[in-house]
Structure 1
């Protein structure tokens, strides 16, 4: 008998890499009945995933109140065996579903208490620390209500009851990446690529500033959504912007075609608490595309991505430009880093192995 599973998100895009492309499609391929309750224009079925639409309207107030109520109502109508939600703002929805006797999983993508410390809309360090501490206590207490906690890393898992916790990391779907060909675009110079959120704490402007120092020896391809208009304008005022090509937010599989055409992948995250122990998607995807990488020189990343990247000071455009230059000059090193990354992904960093952990978690809940 099929298990009916419902994933819920009020904060992520419809075809989110982790939620849709990895988790939901894995469930569908396993033959279970999978629903995805998420912001979309309409109800539709994609890759055997039944997408049930929520309003696309955003904004913190709307999401926290109106959208959350709509999500709970539709979740109850689906009447799933297992509910799997992805946003901390949905904790109250998860608790209500538990009271209805449902099995509930909380999927923790980020260390939210640490993430709160980087939020500029909270106007002072005192307020950020206060909100972070309050949420930390609330999240830990609330998590006791749920049947399982899914975490993207060991570091995040430490915040929760280890008897309930399952670690499912953001490794790439190798079969998806290998099925994509490089995009047919003429390039006259080597390409450095960044795919992901274009935010201040991800060091986008510093990378653009580094392009000026390289004086046209390379171009930077940016694929993703800007944090806000003011940061986009700030980056466009950099003298390095003339060496940037911005492609916007594009579908995941199409993004792989750009990665395969590029020469170097870059991840220039600032050393804030939520970054130094994070495992973002992009390095693994770069590695699957056999790209040598330039990344922030974090201790944890030096352990995980050893021999696959050159470390940089993320706030220093001069250092970023030097490391790019080093790879451009040393073709042997460039090739070796790319090959190391590809081999590591094939041996132990693929979603194919993580997906089995997810299915086992569902099986365990169903049997209990």
Structure 2
């Protein structure tokens, strides 16, 4: 049986894309290990989780010490295929490739574009760093056996570096978050947002819109995730709308499911930054899989999904009044909202699901195992 090792220096041991989806799906066919820092070692879902005792105090130490310790453990495993998930591990990937191993680079996000909007990177070096990272990714990706990307937009760039680039989108597992039975209307409405919480992801607009809605009818914002930076949490607590916000902290998957099940609708109000406008938000599809109607930013790509599936409304994420009106309409038209939720669930069952995406992942691994011609990627809408 082919030995496969996934490794990361950044992501947690229970990462949804890496562990719950990719590793668990691959473990049905191969011997799979997952090397991850700051974790215990154990076996779950057929995956050997191998924890590395590496707690870096800052980004620089993580990029030096942690990556080296992860690489050493990976090399000792002597696997056939190595699949890594962080750009700071590009050198590790090259070293493993030089040792005769098959190597896959999994690109979750467009890192060069991210650099331009990182608040902690000094402005004078953002543009030079952007081009440097892009050049390094190009140099390394050409030498790997394959590249996997999370969105079609990222695929377009990496296809110019490596023809064997495949889009494997982070769509939800079909029944992981699905509610049992028919969703009911309720007089105590709640709106959910679960995910990373930043200013650019619209947390201020969500809380302000909730406050406006509460002037006419009672509604609660069910909020789960981690604030970046932590000072943002203190700022949000000062807003009038915080009294209508139930902040639950970071949630485990079962807690996410329970929260979605008791909510009336889901929101994704990401700001119109270039990197976000071409990305597929995982939260959108998770809300749809749970049968929730959605309110999302009015990006062209997202509008196509939402209006074609007839599963929600699109708004200007920077216009609190626009968001407030969309929420009010949803709550005042419960039958239409329920129909939108059913439509979203149907779209996930037919198209936007991990079961479909995992077939492309397995096909790529079969190609690497047999050294056959490059896999032909399915068309992704």
TM range (shorter): over 0.9
Question: For 1:348 and 1:138, how far apart are their aligned partners in 2?
Answer: 34
Q: 1:110 deviation in Å? A: 0.3
Question: For 1:56 and 1:47, how far apart are their aligned partners in 2?
Answer: 24
Structure-to-structure mapping, 1:176-195, within 5 angstroms = 176-178=176-178, 189-195=188-194
Structure-to-structure mapping, 1:152-171, within 5 angstroms = 152-161=150-159, 163-171=163-171
Residue number in structure 2 paired with 1:20:
19
Residue number in structure 1 paired with 2:311:
308
Question: For 1:47 and 1:355, how far apart are their aligned partners in 2?
Answer: 15
Residue number in structure 1 paired with 2:174:
174
Q: 1:305 deviation in Å? A: 2.7
Instruction: Say what the alpha-carbon RMSD is for the aligned residues.
Output: 1.5
- Equivalent position SS for 2:279: coil
Residue number in structure 2 paired with 1:35:
33
- Equivalent position SS for 1:74: helix
Question: For 1:56 and 1:244, how far apart are their aligned partners in 2?
Answer: 36
Q: 1:40 deviation in Å? A: 3.6
Residue number in structure 1 paired with 2:115:
116
Question: For 1:263 and 1:29, how far apart are their aligned partners in 2?
Answer: 36
Residue number in structure 2 paired with 1:71:
70
Residue number in structure 2 paired with 1:207:
206
Q: 1:304 deviation in Å? A: 2.5
2:55 to 29, 35, 57: 57
Kept in 2: contact 1:115–1:273 (CA 8 A)? no
Q: 1:274 deviation in Å? A: 1.4
* TM-score (normalised: structure 1): 0.94
**Unmatched 5+ stretches in structure 1:** none
Query: Alignment length, in residue pairs?
Result: 360
**Unmatched 5+ stretches in structure 2:** 372-381
Question: For 1:311 and 1:33, how far apart are their aligned partners in 2?
Answer: 44
Residue number in structure 2 paired with 1:148:
146
Question: For 1:232 and 1:256, how far apart are their aligned partners in 2?
Answer: 24
Kept in 2: contact 1:9–1:37 (CA 8 A)? yes
Residue number in structure 2 paired with 1:281:
282
Kept in 1: contact 2:38–2:55 (CA 8 A)? no
Q: 1:189 deviation in Å? A: 1.7
CA shift digits 1:204-262 (9 cap, x unpaired): 11101111111262100011111122111111111100000011112123211211111
Question: For 1:50 and 1:25, how far apart are their aligned partners in 2?
Answer: 10
Question: For 2:38 and 2:281, how far apart are their aligned partners in 1?
Answer: 25
Kept in 2: contact 1:181–1:257 (CA 8 A)? no
Q: 1:72 deviation in Å? A: 0.6
